[in-house]
């Protein structure tokens, strides 16, 4: 726990020092990423918000992901994660945004996209980079590992 606290402290301090704002678009984490950031007092200094767009309908209607992207690549894809990150940055008018989409399980996996498949997109300086992970474990573990990976990526981008 102390390791994640120091990671969150570093993220908070760096965002404040650099006067950067942050937003999320979450699917498989269901708001856990926003919870991790807002557990720290003073997060409103840099955190603009998070949209939990769990269904394809909310990804399209609220977040603005193209229906054609979802049809062609699926909700759990590099392309969808990338669109989610860019749209979240615009929606919240943030400097940085992270988007996450994945298959937490226990069902829903396929040969090409097994349970534990996660895409994390980071939007920063008008560029989007997408990372692909396959996490092992229960639904809860996949979600926890996804949040931890997001925080590590955010910290790396900031430093």
User: Domain map of the chain by residue range?
Assistant: 2-158
Residue with tokens 């860019």: 86
* Sequence-ordered list of residues with C-beta below 8 angstroms from that of 25, at least 6 positions apart, any chain: 50, 51, 53, 63, 84, 85, 87, 88, 97, 98, 99, 100
Per-residue pLDDT of the chain (159 residues; tens, 9 = 90+): 445 568 999 999 999 999 999 999 999 999 999 999 999 999 999 999 999 999 999 999 999 999 999 999 999 999 999 999 999 999 999 999 999 999 998 888 888 899 999 999 999 999 999 999 999 999 999 999 999 999 999 999 998
Residue with tokens 């396959």: 134
Question: By the 8 A CB rule, do 16 and 41 touch?
Answer: no
* Sequence-ordered list of residues with C-beta below 8 angstroms from that of 153, at least 6 positions apart, any chain: 98, 120, 122, 131
CATH domain 2-158 topology: Maf protein (3.90.950)
């Amino acid at each position: 726990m102390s390791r994640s606290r120091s990671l969150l402290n570093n993220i908070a301090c760096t965002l404040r020092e650099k006067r950067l704002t942050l937003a999320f678009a979450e699917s498989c984490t269901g708001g856990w990423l926003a919870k991790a950031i807002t557990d720290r007092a003073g997060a409103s200094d840099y955190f603009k918000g998070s949209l939990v767009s769990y269904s394809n309908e909310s990804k399209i209607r609220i977040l603005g992901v193209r229906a054609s992207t979802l049809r062609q690549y699926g909700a759990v894809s590099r392309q969808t994660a990338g669109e989610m990150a860019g749209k979240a940055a615009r929606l919240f008018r943030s400097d940085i945004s992270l988007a996450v989409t994945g298959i937490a399980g226990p069902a829903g996996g396929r040969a090409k996209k097994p349970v534990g498949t996660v895409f994390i997109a980071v939007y920063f300086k008008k560029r989007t980079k997408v990372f692909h992970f396959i996490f092992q474990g229960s639904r809860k573990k996949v979600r926890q590992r996804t949040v931890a990976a997001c925080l590590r990526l955010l910290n790396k981008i900031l430093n």
